[in-house]
Amino acid sequence: MTCPDKSGQLLNWFVCSLCVPRVCKLWSSRRPRTRRNLLLGTACAIYLGFLVSQVGRASFQRGQTTDRGPPHSHDISKVLFPEIPLDGTLAPPESQDNGSTLQPNVVYITLRSKRSKPANIRGTVKPKRRKKYAVASVAPGQDELVKPSFILQGVARAADAEVPGYAQGYLAKVGERPWRVPRGPGIRTGGSNLQQPRVRESNIRIYSESAPSWLSKEDIRRMRLLADSEVANILPAVSNSGARLLVFEGSTSGSVPGCGPSPCGLLKQPLDMSEVFAFHLDRILGLNRTLPSVSRKSEFIQDGRPRPIVLWDSSLASASNDSHSSVKITWRTYQQSLKQKCWLNGRVPRPEWGCTEIHHHEWSKMALFDFLLQIYNRLDTNCCGFRPRKEDACIQNGLRPNCDDQNSVTLAHIIQRKNDPRHLVFINNKGFFDRSEDNLNFKLLEGIREFPDSAVSVLKSQHLRQKLLQSLFLDKVYWESQGGRQGIEKLIDVVEQRARILVTYINAHGVKVLPMNE
């Protein structure tokens, strides 16, 4: 046992030399054991026990140090003492005058507290968005984008690709950007070269695996044709509205009609953008009487404003120059045919009934469609059922005074197909969304006693808004030209209000709702 203090060592040995002989003498002699002698002996015995315990502990700790450390190593700093405080409150040993440091019998340890990582509570940390990238097919000459797939981030950065966050399905969230293809002469991945073709982004955007159920595959194919095909030629159209006939590259295949060997589209004026809305509304209501129409920006037009393009259908019957109709019918003949229910249930009409080849249900579909969009250029060409504006065609052409003799007024834009004269095709579907509720044209509903249940059920189901948003979102140019979702919502508000008025009219006048899927 080694002690740093020599005076303390001498004091211990001196006390031991006095106590041991005295204790032995007290217990071995026959003197009377007085109280003083007993106390003195007891004190000496306690001190001897304390001294022996100190010697034993020092020996035990020295043995542990020897066993833990390497041979001939006496680094006492590696020995842990449970009785020493670990908070760094002990002062370090002081140096002597000669520069040597006293070797203490304790170790001064200062522990640095480990900084704990803050808890990542779920929902409090904004997760990082993983980027997704679309890869185009490596096959040469391919014009379509394959399904989106993930590629390496390094490849994506080199190609400057972007990925959407919204999406819906749709609308859900209805404001997501389309997939984009990595651009560039080539991308190297895993030691192989993927030659990326320059694929132009389609203006018809479909993010899900399939298009909305009310749009057929043929509708989607024709919409892509009108929106994305290259224009090979421009021909003047036989029309006073300034429309032009666009001849697209390629040849007509399948059921795509054309103006000769190539498919064509009728390019209309920017004020006719409601043609696109009318097409989607027609498909949602299950009428299927309008021609596919999309919005497109034409690089050959100076103003660069988006315009509607309607598919040119060569299967339509030829129309007359005065009424632009394939069948000539006046308002009186029209009202008489509604009473006779021409061709209903396969019944052949009599000659004196004044029926045309058009089926009775076709007039009900047209009246419902025209009322929702307030289209007057078919059943009310003279604007007799509402208060027209100065810019309306009936005022410009001076037809308003003819309302005094309505029975002789000829209906316009009544078009059939050459191979299907029983059904109508709705053309020139320019609607008006700025007409107030107190100025709606109820003359369009005159004489109608039945409406199609497929259309009325949609109007009553409260899903018209959702379907219109999903459908119109496909046409990127039209969506952006109307101010995005905010502008589209305003148009839908008008149509929904008219739908409620129409349902009220049906209930008030006892109009029947029948299946019309003949």
Residue ranges covered by each domain of the chain: 217-311
351 or 16, which is more confident: 351
Whether residue 190 is predicted with pLDDT greater than 70 in this model: the reply is no
pLDDT tens-digit profile of 129-163? Answer: 555 444 333 333 333 333 333 332 333 333 333 33
Per-residue model confidence (pLDDT) at position 161: 33
Lowest-confidence segment of 63-77, 335-349, 421-435, 465-479 by average pLDDT: 63-77
* Nearest by Cα to 329 from 443, 424, 445: 424
Element (H, E) at 297: strand 293-297
Q: With cut-offs at 50, 70 and 90, classify the pLDDT of residue 404.
A: confident
* Nearest by Cα to 1 from 60, 88, 79: 60
DSSP 234: E
* Nearest by Cα to 131 from 180, 195, 201, 189: 180
pLDDT > 70 fraction of the chain, expressed in percent and rounded: 63
The stretch 444-464 carries a mean pLDDT of 95
* Nearest by Cα to 308 from 325, 292, 288: 292
Most confident of 118-122, 140-144, 401-405, 509-513: 509-513
According to DSSP, the residues that pair with 307 across neighbouring strands are: 296
130 or 398, which is more confident: 398
pLDDT tens-digit profile of 411-451? Answer: 999 999 999 999 999 999 999 999 999 999 999 999 999 99
Average per-residue pLDDT in the chain? 75
Whether residue 76 is predicted with pLDDT greater than 50 in this model: the reply is no
Whether residue 385 is predicted with pLDDT greater than 90 in this model: the reply is yes
- Phi first, then psi: give them for residue 515, nearest 5 degrees: -70, 130
The stretch 329-346 carries a mean pLDDT of 93
The stretch 362-373 carries a mean pLDDT of 98
Q: With cut-offs at 50, 70 and 90, classify the pLDDT of residue 167.
A: very low
Per-residue model confidence (pLDDT) at position 160: 38
Q: With cut-offs at 50, 70 and 90, classify the pLDDT of residue 171.
A: very low
pLDDT > 90 fraction of the chain, expressed in percent and rounded: 45
Lowest-confidence segment of 157-166, 327-336, 457-466 by average pLDDT: 157-166
Rounded to whole angstroms, the Cα distance separating 256 from 262 reads 9
Per-residue model confidence (pLDDT) at position 405: 86
Per-residue model confidence (pLDDT) at position 38: 79
Lowest-confidence segment of 17-26, 146-155, 336-345, 461-470 by average pLDDT: 146-155
pLDDT tens-digit profile of 255-297? Answer: 566 677 789 999 999 999 999 999 999 999 999 999 999 999 8
Say if residues 434 and 344 touch (Cβ distance below 8 Å): no
Q: With cut-offs at 50, 70 and 90, classify the pLDDT of residue 96.
A: very low
The stretch 8-21 carries a mean pLDDT of 62
Per-residue model confidence (pLDDT) at position 351: 87
Q: For the chain, what is the radius of gyration of the CA atoms?
A: 48
Per-residue model confidence (pLDDT) at position 9: 59
Per-residue model confidence (pLDDT) at position 330: 93
* Nearest by Cα to 282 from 411, 427, 381: 427
Question: What global pTM score does this model have?
Answer: 0.63
89 or 331, which is more confident: 331
Lowest-confidence segment of 26-40, 92-106, 347-361 by average pLDDT: 92-106
pLDDT tens-digit profile of 490-509? Answer: 999 999 999 999 999 999 99
Output the 3-class SS for 152-201: CHHHHHHHCCCCCCCCCCCCCCCCCCCCCCCCCCCEEECCEEECCCCCCC
Per-residue model confidence (pLDDT) at position 25: 62
Q: With cut-offs at 50, 70 and 90, classify the pLDDT of residue 39.
A: confident
Residues in the chain: 518
Say if residues 94 and 102 touch (Cβ distance below 8 Å): yes
